[in-house]
């Protein structure tokens, strides 16, 4: 049923593994959402995801106050009224849900980041991985294919290994993928290799360092591979909490920015987008 809010906006997060879109009210209530795999032209995927989210919300394109775009290919979102970086959009989305300072860990399909969010919701610091360790989503998809399971079943397969993981490097995505094949050739079970892959990702995130409580998780890996979070907690001793629908955090933050774009002084807009300030 249509929402009684005075305005609605959309956010589109164009990632390397999938495109996420949400339609929200100006009160921050999600009316519709969609996720589609990234393939072919980014523009087509963004349009498809936005159309699906509007259908889910039972709304039309001409009802939108604005469209916020973020992610690897944010410049490919048709009719976007504002674009913001991935770290700023995740900071905005996370702060809307938690309303306090935090260490936000965005574990998406590409390049995981540690984002420091202050008590006003601003992104005040950020750390990313060394280039050779990125491609988390692609690595997990590759591993699932060679272990003959769907990507969403990788976590379940790993759980069956108990605590007996095969050795998989955390240093380089390409090297780690080769190690998956080597471990299988050497006779490791699929369960052992799956657990090794999960721990490999957790170790890469842990190497980013600088975690201060509270530590909050966003991103698609948290949505589809919760075993990574369990491994991260086990390796670090950290207590983690996950945002609601973590795969949509970036799209949600971009939609909030679409509202802000209407309200802010245009001369101030660029500063806010760069610093992640919330209005």
- pLDDT tens string 21-62: 999 999 999 999 999 999 889 999 999 999 999 999 999 999
Residues contacting residue 86 through CB under 8 Å, at least 6 positions apart:
13, 70, 71, 72, 74, 106, 108, 113, 250
In the predicted model, what is the mean pLDDT of residues 154-165?
Answer: 90
CA–CA separation, 181 and 146 (whole Å): 8
Q: Report pTM.
A: 0.84
Residue range 239-244: mean pLDDT, rounded: 94
Calculate mean pLDDT across residues 8-12: 97
How far apart are alpha carbons 101 and 74 in whole angstroms?
26
The three state secondary structure string of 74-121 is HHHCCCCCEECCHHHHHHHHHHHHHCCCEEEEECCCCCCEEEEECCCC
Q: What percent of the chain has pLDDT over 70?
A: 87
d(C-alpha 220, C-alpha 240), whole Å: 16
Average pLDDT of the chain is 86
- SS3 state at 105: strand
How far is C-alpha 21 from the chain's CA centre?
A: 12
Sign of CA dihedral 50, 91, 222, 143: positive
pLDDT of residue 31: 97
Edge-to-edge strand ranges of the sheet holding 18-25: 30-37, 18-25, 8-14, 64-70, 82-83
Q: 28: alpha, beta or left, given left = phi > 0 and alpha = psi -120 to 50?
A: left
Helix (H, G, I), strand (E, B) or coil at 18: strand
Cα 65 from Cα 54, distance rounded (Å)? 13
| C-alpha to C-alpha distance for 141 and 194, rounded to whole angstroms | 11
- Is residue 237 within 8 A of residue 91, CB to CB? The reply is no
Would you say 83 and 89 are in contact if contact means Cβ atoms under 8 Å apart?
no
Q: H or E segment at 67?
A: strand 64-70
Structure confidence by residue, pLDDT tens digits, 195-224: 999 998 898 888 888 889 999 999 988 888
């Amino acid at each position: 049923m249509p929402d009684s809010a005075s305005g609605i906006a959309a956010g589109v997060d164009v990632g390397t593994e999938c495109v996420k879109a949400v339609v929200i009210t100006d009160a921050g209530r999600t009316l519709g959402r969609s996720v589609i795999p990234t393939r072919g032209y980014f523009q087509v995927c963004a349009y498809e995801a936005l159309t699906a989210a509007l259908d889910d919300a039972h709304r039309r394109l001409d009802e939108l106050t604005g469209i916020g775009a973020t992610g690897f290919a944010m410049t490919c979102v048709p009719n976007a009224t504002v674009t913001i970086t991935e770290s700023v959009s995740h900071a905005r989305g996370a702060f809307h849900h938690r309303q306090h300072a935090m260490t936000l860990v965005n574990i998406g399909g590409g390049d995981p980041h540690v984002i420091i969010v202050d008590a006003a919701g601003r992104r005040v610091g950020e750390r990313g991985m060394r280039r050779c360790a990125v491609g988390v989503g692609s690595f997990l998809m590759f591993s699932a294919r060679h272990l003959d399971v769907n990507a969403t079943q990788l976590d379940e397969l790993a759980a069956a290994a108990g605590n007996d993981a095969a050795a998989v490097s955390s240093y380089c995505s390409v090297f780690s993928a080769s190690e998956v094949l080597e471990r299988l050739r050497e006779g490791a079970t699929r369960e052992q290799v799956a657990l090794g892959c999960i721990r490999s990702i957790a170790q890469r995130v842990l190497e980013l360092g600088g975690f201060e409580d509270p530590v909050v998780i966003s991103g698609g890996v948290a949505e589809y591979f919760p075993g990574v979070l369990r491994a991260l907690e086990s390796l670090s001793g950290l207590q983690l909490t996950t945002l609601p629908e973590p795969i949509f955090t970036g799209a949600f933050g971009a939609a909030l920015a679409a509202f802000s774009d209407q309200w802010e002084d245009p001369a101030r807009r660029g500063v806010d987008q760069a610093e992640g300030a919330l209005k």
